[in-house]
Structure 1
């Protein structure tokens, strides 16, 4: 019976932890994403543009 009680206790702790994650961490991840993703996108767009220019110049040199 003790083992069953421990397993039930463990399941309740897992449920409590996952509920807490759902309530707190997802909201925090969303806030951080809203804050940092625009900057990340802008930097990625700049890097992509630079790659395109490098490829274009390489094609000009090859021809």
Structure 2
């Protein structure tokens, strides 16, 4: 299913807004089991428009580090 022209325009606006942000050299995750080095490398080397859902989901689903006590 293709997005409507209005939705596509919003998506393009978001890409335009976030294009100035650079990919972090280190992702803040709890450990390499949550987001492997291979997945981190793939995130850093893939253009934003080409990142597959599965890779975004892996990053988004990984918990962050334990908060300081």
TM-score by length of 1: 0.31
**Higher relative contact order structure (alpha carbons within 8 Å, sequence separation ≥ 6):** 2
Give the helix-richer structure, 1 or 2.
1
